[in-house]
Amino acid sequence: MNVTDILTLQTILVGDSGVGKTSLLVQFDQGKFIPGSFSATVGIGFTVSHHWLYCSIWDTAGQERFRSVTHAYYRDAQALLLLYDITSKSSFDNTRAWLTEIHEYAQNDVVIMLLGNKSDMISSRMVRRDEGERLAREYGVPFMETSAKTGVNVDLVFKAVAKELKHRA
Ligand code: GDP
Ligand code: MG
């Protein structure tokens, strides 16, 4: 493998507290669900289309409380995963405020993906899948429902982001 095949990407996870940002990251990094909140920011190496990617993923633990992740965080990010919790209508509604903030501070060409997490919690669902799809269309970004618990779509999300970024690199 050639060194020029190595790309470094910076991705940040944003969204209301409790939507599952840390859990999603832990699931991607370690392939398991560890209940309970804790902060985690990791660098993960993986291959996409024969390219080796080193992706540093920043989990915005705590700061979401203040509705403002530091501006440097946004400025340096190539990709942003905007999460809501499918069992929380307010977390879904709040994605609009998050997106406003993203557009204000992030680079214009940042890759954004809208994610409806906790897709395993079917009986407590408050946001329908088609509502998520509709909002993503309005925002002009891709959409997926994920479960940090079961791992559904978690690899796909990070690979889709990495692939998109690789095309632009
Ligand atoms: P954060 O504040 O956005 O980082 O959210 P956390 O990752 O700390 O998760 C908040 C709570 O939701 C914790 O109790 C997690 O165990 C739980 N949780 C996170 N993701 C999922 C998921 O996909 N399914 C279920 N059932 N619970 C989840
Ligand atoms: Mg967290």
Q: How much is the pLDDT for 28?
A: 83
**Is 121 close to ligand 1, i.e. is its CB under 6 Å away?**
yes
**Is 116 close to ligand 1, i.e. is its CB under 6 Å away?**
no
Q: What is the ipTM of this complex?
A: 0.99
Nearest CA to ligand 1 atom 22: 118
| Cβ-contact 86, 145 below 8 angstroms | yes
Q: How much is the pLDDT for 127?
A: 98
Nearest CA to ligand 1 atom 11: 18
How far is C-alpha 159 from the geometric centre of its chain's CA atoms? 11
| Cβ-contact 150, 156 below 8 angstroms | no
pLDDT in tens, 36-64: 756 666 666 666 555 566 666 767 655 55
